[in-house]
Amino acid sequence: MKRTNRFNIEWDDPEEAEGLGIGCSTLWNKLNYKRRESFFDEDKEFDWSSDVLYDEFKGWIGSATAQQIVRKNNSAWKSYFSLLKKWVKNKDEMKEPNPAGYWKDRKKDEKELRILVRNDCYEIEDDGTIKLPFGRTGKIKGEPHWDGKQGRLEIVYDRLDDRWRAFQSVEVEPRHQPRGDKSAYVDLGVIYPVMTYIEGGETTVGYSGRPILSNWWLYNKQIDKAKSQAKEENDRYTSERIKRLFRQRKRKFKDAVRKIAHDFIERCYQAGVDTVVVGDLTGIREKEKWSSKADSMVHNYWSHKYLADRIRWTAENYGIEIELIDERGTSSKCPKCGSEKKVRRGRLFKCKECGIEAHRDSVGALNIGLAQGGNIPAEVINIYWKIRWIFHRFTEFY
């Protein structure tokens, strides 16, 4: 499986590194411009050629690096054409994809400095020295998390923090293997990111996202205030401080999701789970109508894809399989009697037939398990509101 090491680089010769980054970005932009021209001209066939630009830049950035940029651009356009075909067939269910863009900040009219290095063209020594072609060297800051067969290295200059950030692809083996053959059933959500029933458990387990959401709203207030100040002082709605606040908000959210995913999968591993069945919420933004506040949370705060991906990536480390299923209707049917006559108010689910009252997300997790033929004892379904809550800081409540 593939993983990514992230670390910073302090170059021995920063100007030389900047020149290499400019060369890589210039090649990408020129190649992309040529291809975009041919794509938007209906009288031309798409131009896949790259030999002329490759020959022009290989003396500047190196033949291997030029090759990697061409390959990455090829991959970007092939991915675009693949998504475009899917969009043509499913225009109502997905957004129209965009063609490959430029490595450029249009507002500041500055190139995004990126360097691509082939897997056999760099070396990281035990003392943290990194060596690139043409004698370019530097020191890595941070400890690489994964140790395995190294892949391509991508280095990006972060103008906001004035740092070179490196992303190293690594091929590794799972660190663990499942300890049993149980299943876990998961309902993903906004306010409660993960609600799950693990076979053999006495109740459902829920991860509350309210502390994360509160933190997000707090950052929103700070961002709105900073925007007002920027408008008064500079007649603009952006500044370095605002960009940093957006970045901090995003990092806080991702850090919380990573911790939730790790705690959940570790809990599954200890319980002997080898398969996690997850309700797939793909397309929920387009399918549902929300109030203005809920709409803001779903469209701006919540990232279903990132949450699902973190669970999948973490599960792979433990050798646990992830199975996505359609979760439509799982929160609207009674898990005890199967009736669809219910009352839903807030997070309350009440069945009009048997009178069961439960948390809607707990009902969703149990119904996902029942739909998959899971082993869910009747006493678990009759627990009603008893849920093992785990908050962001992992203080447990019952």
Task: State residue 360's pLDDT score.
Answer: 87
Token couple for 15: 């100007």
Parts of the chain with a pLDDT under 50 = 285, 290, 398
DSSP string, 152-206: EEEEEEETTTTEEEEEEEEE---S---SS-EEEEEEE-SSSSEEEEETT-SSEEE
- Give the amino acid at 274: D
Task: State residue 298's pLDDT score.
Answer: 59
Q: Return all residues near 295 (Cβ < 8 A) that are at least 6 apart.
A: none
Q: Considering only the C-alpha atoms of the chain, give the largest distance between any 2 of them, rounded to a whole number of Å.
A: 77
Task: State residue 31's pLDDT score.
Answer: 97
Burial class (CB in 10 A: 0-12, 13-18, 19+), 236: exposed
If we measure between CA atoms, which residue out of 326, 381, 389, 327 comes closest to residue 351? 381
Task: State residue 34's pLDDT score.
Answer: 95
Let me know: does 171 contact 340? Beta carbons within 8 Å: no
Task: State residue 233's pLDDT score.
Answer: 85
Q: What's the N-to-C CA distance of the chain in angstroms?
A: 37
Task: State residue 398's pLDDT score.
Answer: 44
Burial class (CB in 10 A: 0-12, 13-18, 19+), 140: buried
pLDDT digits (tens, 9 = 90+) for 275-316: 999 987 665 545 555 455 555 655 666 677 888 899 999 999
Residues 83 and 383: their CA atoms lie apart, in Å, by 45
